[in-house]
């Protein structure tokens, strides 16, 4: 982000927002964080990304593939075997994704404490 966001060209700004909207999405971030470790099959992802529906995982993977962040390899066996892995572009994003997930993990108690204080102040 430039130091003075007022200087953003508004068209470029809008594109950046639209991309951010796509990648700054909980399921996308979690899928990319998992694929950082290794190639995974659809059914493995479905089991591992707790709470995701089959349809939401399908949509998320299709968008990540369209964005060029994840690649999809189909093995022509019966039943079809489909594997997902990060592309080079996906890998370049992943340092940032991992940092965001790590930050969240290590600050979750701070956030919970802040929420409790806020809710108490609102109620009081």
Cis peptide before 79 (omega within 30 of 0): yes
State which of positions 14-53 bind a copy of itself (CB under 8 A). 14-17, 19-21, 23-26, 29-30, 33-34, 36-37, 48, 50-51
Q: Which two tokens stand for residue 48?
A: 């591992």
Q: Does residue number 85 form part of the binding site for a copy of itself (CB under 8 A)?
A: no
Cβ proximity to a copy of itself: between 12 and 78 the closer is: 12
Long-range CB contact pairs, 65-69, < 8 A, 24+: 67/19, 67/22, 67/23, 69/23, 69/32, 69/93
Q: How far is the CB of 29 from a copy of itself (least distance, A)?
A: 6
How many other CB atoms sit within 10 Å of the CB of residue 103? Answer: 10
Q: Does residue number 72 form part of the binding site for a copy of itself (CB under 8 A)?
A: no
Whose tokens are 């190639």? That residue is 39
Residues forming contacts to a copy of itself in the complex (CB under 8 A) are 1, 3-6, 10, 12-17, 19-21, 23-26, 29-30, 33-34, 36-37, 48, 50-51, 65-68, 89, 92-93, 95-105, 107-108, 110-115, 117-119
């Amino acid at each position: 982000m430039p130091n003075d966001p007022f200087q953003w060209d508004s068209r470029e700004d809008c594109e950046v927002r639209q991309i951010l909207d796509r990648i700054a999405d909980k399921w996308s971030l979690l899928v990319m964080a998992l694929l950082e470790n290794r190639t995974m099959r659809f059914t493995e992802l479905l089991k591992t990304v707790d709470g995701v529906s089959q349809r939401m995982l399908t949509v998320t993977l299709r968008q990540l593939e369209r964005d060029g962040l994840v690649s999809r390899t189909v093995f022509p066996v019966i039943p079809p075997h489909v594997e997902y892995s990060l592309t080079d572009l996906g890998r370049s994003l992943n340092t940032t994704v991992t940092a965001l997930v790590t930050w969240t993990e290590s600050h979750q108690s701070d956030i919970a404490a802040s929420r409790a204080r806020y809710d108490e102040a609102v109620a009081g």
